[in-house]
Amino acid sequence: MGDFPFWLRAQHLLNFFLIGLLLRSGWQIIATHPRFYWRNDCGPGTEWIKFTKRVVPPEEGAFMARDDESELPSWLALPGGKNIGLGRHWHGVVTLLWLLNGFVYVFLLFATGLWRRIIPTSFDVFPEAWREFVSYIQLQVPSIEHYQPYGALQQLAYTAVLFVFAPLMMVTGPIMSPAVIGRFPWYPKLFGGRQAARSIHFLGMVAISIFVVTHVAMVFLVHRQHNILHMVFGSSTDTSRYGVALMLFLATIVLVVSAWIAISYLSLIDIRKTQKFLFAILEPVRRLTVNKFASRTRQLGTYTEADISPYHWSNGRHPTPEESPEWTELAQNDFRDFVLEIGPPENPVRVTGDEIKALPQQTQIAMHTCMQGWTGIAKWTGPKVMDLMALGGERPADAQYLMVTSFGYAQKMHGDKPLEPYYSCIPLADCMEDESIFAWEMNDKPLPWTFGAPMRIRIESIHGYKMVKYIRRVEWIHDYSSYGDGMGGTREDSGYQVINARI
């Protein structure tokens, strides 16, 4: 039987640690929308599986997507609570580390020739695996000579994880990015659509979870001494070291599990520092990848009216009279008196709704993606962002962001501060994309209250939390750090998302 070299043992341990973080951050993400679909419209009752007893009424806006969010304990999820922002950041960072470790592992596997131990080289592996399976269900354990060093079932399981499930997770993960599916609309179609890809990603997670649990259990149930000596010392020849190996093995598992849980609680001690730390790691990767992608679905005619969702989820209820008596008064008159303010609040240019509608209008059928996981397809109409902003005069030379402020208010504030108007700062490059518009019409009708009347912004390369609804004022700014809590928007300030919403 072959020994286990140090690099193999070290990478197994690192992979165990990273897989735990990946799963726990993935559960955090799932908890925000615990439903899975095969269809892109995500309508009530179309789930093939759900992890909630909540019933969604058929009327749009009666039940918000945020109402469906579940709160998980920090010992289970990373970081726990209702922290989808940090959960997504952790998932991204750990994915990068997991991929790096995986590529190194596969390279060394082939470079050293150890792949022959894992990957079957004969079709005889299938009848051997069946005989092995029958032995297990009969509560019999094949003799130690059966493992050279792995049994047939182990070989098939390892091969499936390495070359089926792990790659499947790698290729379906990017489909969660609106920038990726907007730039390459053919890509999600390979898997049956964006929601089908999300479901496949979920099933891959389930398969890997079952593998990890089974793998650890079999270490103890089948030739425990042989397995633990190999995993700790690389060889089982010196059985006198078994006691030490067992203690080290158990201590390592306890240490890893403790680290998983500790990372959750440490993340929540200073959420803002955690947010900034994870953003600093991920942003260079975004700049090299998704920042280069602009949506082309309108240009390519990816979606048609037949694709429009019969039910479209939404988040954020319309302003109340207490929050915004101005919006309430406008709504009573069907927003005929709506005036958009362009520029700083002390000296804005005021643009009427008629002037907005007199601009060249663009219609686009697009997929709305929410960082919670749900999607919806709708038809939006309105002027391009840059065309409308031109009504406010020449753009300042140092302008880097468009700050969009809502009549509506934040749902919560960092540090439990008093609620403030919802706002978002959008990078200039995003505003200049072809599919960036100020929408005042949805599905050939005036924008409904639920979806942001009288006007909202649509930028199809980013997630929905940046697309401000109930717009009151827009303004070019140079630096977002002096507004709000300095993170780039309400969801960044209080929901701990990041200003880059492309993934």
> How confident is the model over 175-228, as pLDDT tens digits?
999 999 999 999 999 999 999 999 999 999 999 999 999 988 988 888 899 889
CA distance 35 to 48: 8
Rg (CA), the chain: 26
Does residue 39 surpass a pLDDT of 60?
A: yes
Please write the tens of the pLDDT for every residue from 77-94. Answer: 999 999 999 999 999 999
Whole-number average pLDDT of the chain:
95
Q: Model confidence over 459-469: pLDDT tens digits?
A: 999 999 999 99
pLDDT at 354: 96
Q: Pick the closest to residue 268 from 496, 484, 488, 501 (CA basis).
A: 496
Low-confidence winner among 19-33, 120-134, 252-266 (lowest mean pLDDT):
120-134
Q: What is the pLDDT of residues 425-459, one digit of tens each?
A: 999 999 999 999 999 999 999 999 999 999 999 99
Average pLDDT of span 266-273 = 97
Q: What is the pLDDT of residue 221?
A: 87
Q: Which residues contact 457 (CB under 8 A, 6 or more apart)?
A: 385, 404, 426, 436, 437, 438, 439, 467, 468, 471
- Going by the DSSP 8-state scheme, the letter that residue 320 receives in this structure is P
The answer to whether 473 touches 349, Cβ cutoff 8 Å, is no
Question: What per-residue confidence (pLDDT) applies to 1?
Answer: 45
pLDDT at residue 237, rounded to an integer:
85
pLDDT tens by residue, 306-357: 999 999 999 989 999 999 999 999 999 999 999 999 999 999 999 999 999 9
Q: In percent, how much of the chain has pLDDT > 90?
A: 88
pLDDT at position 2 is: 59
3, pLDDT greater than 90: no
d(CA 370, CA 449): 19
CA proximity to 393, closest of 334, 350, 436: 350
Helix pair 6-32, 194-221: axis angle to 10 deg: 130
Q: How confident is the model at residue 52 (pLDDT cuts 50, 70, 90)?
A: very high
Length in residues, the chain: 503
| CA-CA-CA-CA torsion sign (41, 497, 462, 412) | positive
Residue with tokens 């804005």: 348
* pLDDT score of 201: 98
Lookup: tokens for 473:
């004022």
- Cα–Cα distances in angstroms (integers) from residue 49 to residues 38, 200, 210, in the given order: 10, 12, 18
Residue 144's pLDDT band, with cuts at 50, 70 and 90, is confident
Q: 229 Cβ partners below 8 Å, 6+ apart?
A: 235, 236, 238, 239, 241, 242, 245
Beta bridge partners, 476, equal: 402
CB 409 within 8 A of CB 420: yes
Asked, as a colleague might, if the bond just before 383 is cis with ω within 30 of 0, I would say no
H or E stretch at 220? helix 194-221
Does 454 sit behind a cis peptide bond, omega within 30 degrees of 0 on the bond before it?
Answer: yes
CB of 204 closer than 8 Å to CB of 168: yes
The pLDDT value given to residue 142: 82
pLDDT digits over 357-412, tens only?
A: 999 999 999 999 999 999 999 999 999 999 999 999 999 999 999 999 999 999 88
pLDDT of 57 over the 90 cut: yes
**Is the confidence at residue 64, as pLDDT, over 50?**
yes
Amino acid at residue number 162: L
Residue with the bigger pLDDT between 455 and 148: it is: 455
Residue 324: how many CA atoms within 13 Å on its side-chain side? 23
| Start-to-end Cα distance in the chain | 46
